[in-house]
Amino acid sequence: MSETPADLKLTPAGPDHYGPVLAPYACDPLATRGRFHAEPESGYRSCYQRDRDRIIHSSAFRRLKHKTQVFVYHEGDYYRTRLTHSLEVAQIARTVARALGLNEDLAEALALAHDFGHTPFGHAGEDALDAAMAPFGGFDHNAQTLRILTKLEERYPTFDGLNLTWETLEGVVKHNGPLTGHHAVSERALPAAIVEYVSDHDLELDTYASAEAQVAAISDDIAYNSHDIDDGLRAGLFDLEDLRELPLVGPAFEAVQAAHGDIDRTRFIHVGISQMIGAMVADVLAEARRRLAESNVGSPEEVRALDHAVVGLSDEIAEADRAVKAFLHENMYRHYRVNRMTSKARRVVTQMFDLLFHEPELLPTAWRARAQEKDEHGRARVIADYIAGMTDRYALELHRKLFDPEVI
């Protein structure tokens, strides 16, 4: 295996296209497995650049602006939304991908699309929709992302979805690991949307995804911890002193204190979070380089064939990461203020699903036509698609229109 390039140079990567030199285990756009629907490729953008651009210009990407992570959209302007989170994940993913000699455009595309399938109101909304859909195959945000990218986006005259490359779709579905076989990351039955899609377009669910997809997954993890600590501090759910004993966070804050002394709280938090992200990124790079060298992989196919991920945290930092997550679970996600919001969110989603399932004539015209063409299972899936695509604001407004007699 050749060494990871330390100083990336520019070299032709296709007609009229220039890009960084890629490591042998990176996904080369010239070796893509292509798109399900054949299309002529661009003369000045690689296929993965084109995937990224299609994702950015999609309706689903714009809706992320008013879909929340933890706080409902009207709680404040400074809290993260799915859009700001996705941009932060993309920034980390590009940094890691470049340092490892991977394809930045593919890593960025996966980072930007990874949250498309989330419902309004974060995980509370997903849990409610999954419960409502239990008799009809359940609801899974990862499968919903695949539905959006391959079916629900309606932008092109000759096919549904965005017609992304095989590598991007594979990364969306398998970024957390294989879904079938000995190394499957979950014992839960495969979501129907994934089963249906792979029957026509095999995404090789029993293997790991590309190193770029693994980068997007770990970047999501890094961004989650850092911005939830930032948002939790801003919201007053906990304070700086509560974090001093936490691994990762405590050492980051100590480093800021040692370097800058007593500085303004806002600046202290910002620099501390930056320090924490930097420490986790450095750990990922060191651990990935160790695993890549140990595995001696020389192609993306060899990365997929391994029985473990090549990109991840070291054991020490992974343990520290679990401690931070446990703190956030107890002090943020289960805080009474957040509990009140999630309780409301579950009721909004559950009540809307129940009403629209039994009275599909209340759906907008195009959605009603789709629902009425289906049997019960099909109708439920159409309503799940409709609700999952809502922003927080739209869901709250529609709920008022449907249930408040004084709102028309």
Per-residue confidence (pLDDT) for residue 231, from 0 to 100: 87
17-20 vs 10-14, strand pairing mode: antiparallel
Confidence of residue 93 (pLDDT cuts 50, 70, 90): very high
The helix-helix angle for 315-328 and 211-235 (nearest 10°) equals 40
Average pLDDT over residues 44-54: 97
Query: φ, ψ for residue 14 (rounded to 5)?
Result: 160, 175
Per-residue confidence (pLDDT) for residue 164, from 0 to 100: 98
Per-residue confidence (pLDDT) for residue 170, from 0 to 100: 98
Average pLDDT over residues 70-80: 54
Average pLDDT over residues 259-263: 93
Q: Which two tokens mark 147?
A: 């539905």
pLDDT at 15 over 80: no
Query: φ, ψ for residue 262 (rounded to 5)?
Result: -85, 105
Per-residue confidence (pLDDT) for residue 370, from 0 to 100: 93
Per-residue confidence (pLDDT) for residue 79, from 0 to 100: 66
Q: Could you tell me what percent of the chain has a pLDDT over 90?
A: 78
pTM of the model: 0.91
HEC-encoded secondary structure of the chain: CCCCCCCCCEEEEECCEEEECCCCCCCCHHHCCCECCCCCCCCCCCHHHHHHHHHHCCHHHHHHHHCECCCCHHHCCCCCEHHHHHHHHHHHHHHHHHHCCCCHHHHHHHHHHCCCCCCCCHHHHHHHHHHHCHHHCCCCHHHHHHHHHHHHCCCCCCCCCCCCEHHHHHHHHHCCCCCCCCCCCCCCCCCHHHHHHHCCCCCCCCCCCCHHHHHHHHHHHHHHHHHHHHHHHHHCCCCHHHHCCCCCHHHHHHHHHHHHCCCCHHHHHHHHHHHHHHHHHHHHHHHHHHHHHHHCCCCHHHHHHCCCCCCCCCHHHHHHHHHHHHHHHHHHHCCHHHHHHHHHHHHHHHHHHHHHHHCHHHCCHHHHHHHHCCCHHHHHHHHHHHHHCCCHHHHHHHHHHHHCCCCC
AA identity, residue 101: G
pLDDT digits (tens, 9 = 90+) for 220-244: 999 998 989 998 898 888 999 999 9
pLDDT digits (tens, 9 = 90+) for 216-225: 999 999 999 8
Mean pLDDT of the chain, nearest integer: 91
**Which residues 6+ apart lie within 8 Å of 50 measured at CB?**
41, 42
pLDDT digits (tens, 9 = 90+) for 132-152: 999 999 999 999 999 999 999
Per-residue confidence (pLDDT) for residue 123, from 0 to 100: 86
pLDDT at 38 over 60: yes
- Count of residues for the chain? 408
To which residue do tokens 């699903």 refer? Answer: 353
Average pLDDT over residues 375-385: 96
* CA proximity to 147, closest of 87, 135, 310, 133: 133
Domains along the sequence of the chain with CATH: 1-408 (1.10.3210.10)
pLDDT digits (tens, 9 = 90+) for 94-120: 999 999 999 999 999 999 999 999 999
* Least trusted range by pLDDT, from 68-82, 162-176, 358-372: 68-82
Per-residue confidence (pLDDT) for residue 182, from 0 to 100: 83
Per-residue confidence (pLDDT) for residue 68, from 0 to 100: 80
Per-residue confidence (pLDDT) for residue 334, from 0 to 100: 84
Per-residue confidence (pLDDT) for residue 16, from 0 to 100: 41
pLDDT at 70 over 70: no
Residue that wins the pLDDT comparison between 8 and 87:
87
Average pLDDT over residues 380-399: 95
CB-CB contact of 125 with 46 (8 Å)? no
Per-residue confidence (pLDDT) for residue 336, from 0 to 100: 87
Per-residue confidence (pLDDT) for residue 153, from 0 to 100: 97
Confidence of residue 315 (pLDDT cuts 50, 70, 90): very high
Per-residue confidence (pLDDT) for residue 92, from 0 to 100: 98
Per-residue confidence (pLDDT) for residue 114, from 0 to 100: 95
Average pLDDT over residues 361-380: 94
Q: Which two tokens mark 62?
A: 């714009």
pLDDT at 8 over 50: no
Average pLDDT over residues 240-261: 95
Per-residue confidence (pLDDT) for residue 138, from 0 to 100: 94
pLDDT digits (tens, 9 = 90+) for 284-307: 999 999 999 999 999 999 999 999
Between the CA atoms of 134, 140, 146 and 151, what dihedral angle is there, to the nearest 10 degrees? 30
